[in-house]
Amino acid sequence: ALLNSIYNHRYNFELLKEGKSVSDEKKYPFPKNENLLFEYRLLTLAKIQGIVDYLFPHKYIMDKGFEDYFKKILEENSKINSRKDFEIILAKLVSKFKDSHAFSFYRQLNYKKDIFHGSYLAPFDFQIVDDHLLVTHIIFPEICAKAQINVGDKITSVNGKSIPQIIKEKGELLSTSNTEKLVFVLSKYENNLIWIGDLQQKNLDVKSGKNNKKFSTKVDMIDPSDKQKYDLIVNYLQDKIKKIQNRKIVHDDIAYFKINETYQFINKLNDNAKMNAVMDSILSNASKKKAIVFDMREYPDWGGFFFHYLYKYFSPTENYFAKYYQPNLKNIGTFSYRDASIVYYPSIPEKTVHHYKGKVFILVNPDTRSASEWYSMSLQKIFPQALTIGQQTSGGDGDLVKVNLPGDYLLEFTGNGIFYPDNSQTQQTGIRINELIKYKDDDILNKKDLEFERVLELINKS
């Protein structure tokens, strides 16, 4: 009777504004260098536990030991006496979500430079490959020459810890849906998350790229407060990012679409009739090519390209490519399947279907995230012959939910469940891939795009 009474008087989430699954709660700000009072720390942890119990649809694939771990965290919380120590607790707790949408949480930590040992920057660029850091570019030749570090060298340990050990430890502080995504974000120079130790000089164990000989060395890291050196790093990164953004396939027999460069098609058009005419022309031209390539290795700049126009031109009337589960506001903590067609495709009366019989390629990697994963699933349904090629995707498919935490933190996480029609999950695992492509050291050093190469190989065979 008591439980029924509590249930009958539960908070009615249906009173929230449309589109919200949680209320806008207070932020309870504290000075950045001041630890939260015990009761506010307890409230923060209670809210995270509440998120897991009532708002996070993927709690069933979290580590089975989460409840015991949470009890341990409660004990630690009663003993800490600094904001940094509390932020370490928060980072560890959020990492247990194993949700790439929650990865951004670390950026809000006031002591992230201390927690992730990010006070200094490397004098070279790198990428994690298997069990080592591959040196891919020398940013400061003099510093690297002094440490005898060259492009192609493999760093196997930092300050006595192996790279796999470091990856494991960083994974206990960062929320990513899978290891592939974790390695991807740790490999980004601009994130500066891979290093350990607080001293400016690091001890490295290295395997030479020239002769495979092993040696140990000390390398001086870069102090970001040195404006001249920092500006050089910024210029290098801007050039690197620009080159990545400019990658594309140019081939007479291929129509190439890049997920973050579709809004340009209608950018200067403010008339629906003109938009429709332009998009019909673009897709009509694409339909005449031997192959269509959808490069999904980024975040979409315009959902209408996929949801409306690709569906309108190529898809059969029904396009139930997924199962979407949303929070059940009548009974919070449960999730209900949305079968309304508008979730999956727009209503376009008397649409004409143009059946495309050419080859279709969907290119993916860990940067294929959230909406990119959703639209990739739609493409797989629209084009049954499509080959999905690349690496495991982010595994954070679905809508983003945000909850304020005391201390002026904002916890973001995946708020709904996305499955394939056969109930296969996408959370953590990512979307289905036909051909996994693995990059070796030489591929990276030679700046190859193996997905492009594979597409061209298959086109030339046909």
Which residues 6+ apart lie within 8 Å of 136 measured at CB? 124, 125, 126, 127, 151, 444, 445
Which residues 6+ apart lie within 8 Å of 185 measured at CB? 103, 174, 176, 191, 193, 366
Q: Counting runs of H as helices and runs of E as strands, what totals does the chain give?
A: 15, 16
Q: For 378-386, what is the mean pLDDT?
A: 98
pTM equals 0.95
For the cut 90, the answer to whether the pLDDT of residue 408 exceeds it is yes
- φ, ψ dihedrals at 152, nearest 5°: 100, -15
Q: For 220-225, what is the mean pLDDT?
A: 98
Nearest to 130 by CA among 100, 103, 162, 176: 162
For the cut 80, the answer to whether the pLDDT of residue 6 exceeds it is no
Per-residue confidence (pLDDT) for residue 19, from 0 to 100 = 62
Give the number of other CB atoms < 10 A from CB of residue 303.
13
Q: For 313-340, what is the mean pLDDT?
A: 94
Whole-number Cα distances in Å, 397 to 53, 61, 188: 20, 14, 22
Q: For 134-139, what is the mean pLDDT?
A: 99
Which residues 6+ apart lie within 8 Å of 134 measured at CB? 126, 127, 128, 152, 153, 154, 155, 441, 444, 445
Q: How confident is the model at residue 313 (pLDDT cuts 50, 70, 90)?
A: very high
Residues, the chain, total? 462
Q: How confident is the model at residue 145 (pLDDT cuts 50, 70, 90)?
A: very high
Structure tokens at 228: 């001249």
For the cut 90, the answer to whether the pLDDT of residue 2 exceeds it is no
Burial class (CB in 10 A: 0-12, 13-18, 19+), 138: middle
Tens of pLDDT, residues 213-222: 999 999 999 9
Average pLDDT, the chain: 95
Q: How confident is the model at residue 1 (pLDDT cuts 50, 70, 90)?
A: confident
List the domain boundaries for the chain: 124-223, 244-461
61 within 8 A of 428, measured Cβ to Cβ: yes
251 within 8 A of 459, measured Cβ to Cβ: yes
Tens of pLDDT, residues 173-222: 999 999 999 999 999 999 999 999 999 999 999 999 999 999 999 999 99
63/380: higher pLDDT: 380
**Amino acid code (one letter) for 387:** L
Per-residue confidence (pLDDT) for residue 24, from 0 to 100 = 72
- Report CA Rg, the chain: 25
Q: For 414-425, what is the mean pLDDT?
A: 97
% of the chain residues with pLDDT over 90: 91
Q: How confident is the model at residue 21 (pLDDT cuts 50, 70, 90)?
A: low
| Assigned CATH class of 244-461 | alpha beta
Tell me, rounded to whole angstroms, the distance of Cα 205 from its chain centroid: 30
- 56-85 in b/e form (b: 16+ CB < 10 A) is bbbeeebeeeeeeeeeebeeebeebeebbe
For the cut 90, the answer to whether the pLDDT of residue 4 exceeds it is no
Q: How confident is the model at residue 91 (pLDDT cuts 50, 70, 90)?
A: very high
Per-residue confidence (pLDDT) for residue 64, from 0 to 100 = 86
Q: How confident is the model at residue 23 (pLDDT cuts 50, 70, 90)?
A: low
- φ, ψ dihedrals at 441, nearest 5°: -50, -50
For the cut 90, the answer to whether the pLDDT of residue 5 exceeds it is no
CATH architecture of 124-223: Roll (2.30)
For the chain, percent helix, then strand, then coil, each to nearest 5? 40, 20, 45
- φ, ψ dihedrals at 112, nearest 5°: -65, -35
Which residues 6+ apart lie within 8 Å of 377 measured at CB? 321, 322, 397, 418, 420, 426, 431
